[in-house]
Amino acid sequence: KQEVTQIPAALSVPEGENLVLNCSFTDSAIYNLQWFRQDPGKGLTSLLLIQSSQREQTSGRLNASLDKSSGRSTLYIAASQPGDSATYLCAVSSGDSNYQLIWGAGTKLIIKP
């Protein structure tokens, strides 16, 4: 059974710093991995999607990497801003039910001005 873990559960850093959020999964047979952000009281916003054949994806200040063999993904945020404060979730699509996203519990990120 696929399990997704995100470390740390919470992170607080000063504005301007570069930071890395971690996501690990137990079954390397995934179809893809997605990173989302969730703002309080709002839905989820898709940030990056990495297909199983890809190693990384970039969007603006965000870079997500994928290492299937080790069951890990990282989300790198460059030059963090207060507006980046949110909960970041990773989810994998894998196994027999390839459309079911299996979710991590999220990392709550606070960027201090």
Partner 1 sequence: GAGVSQSPSNKVTEKGKDVELRCDPISGHTALYWYRQSLGQGLEFLIYFQGNSAPDKSGLPSDRFSAERTGGSVSTLTIQRTQQEDSAVYLCASSFVGITEAFFGQGTRLTVV
| Complex with partner 1: residue 36 or 84, whichever CB lies closer | 36
93 binds partner 1 (CB under 8 A): yes
Q: Which two tokens stand for residue 41?
A: 């009281």
32 binds partner 1 (CB under 8 A): yes
**Closest residue by Cα to residue 62 from 43, 40, 89, 80:** 80
106 binds partner 1 (CB under 8 A): yes
Q: Which of 55, 100, 110, 112 binds partner 1 (CB under 8 A)?
A: 100
> Cβ(95)–Cβ(32) under 8 Å?
no
Using the rule CB under 8 A, give the single segment among 15-23, 40-48, 65-73, 75-83 that binds partner 1: 40-48
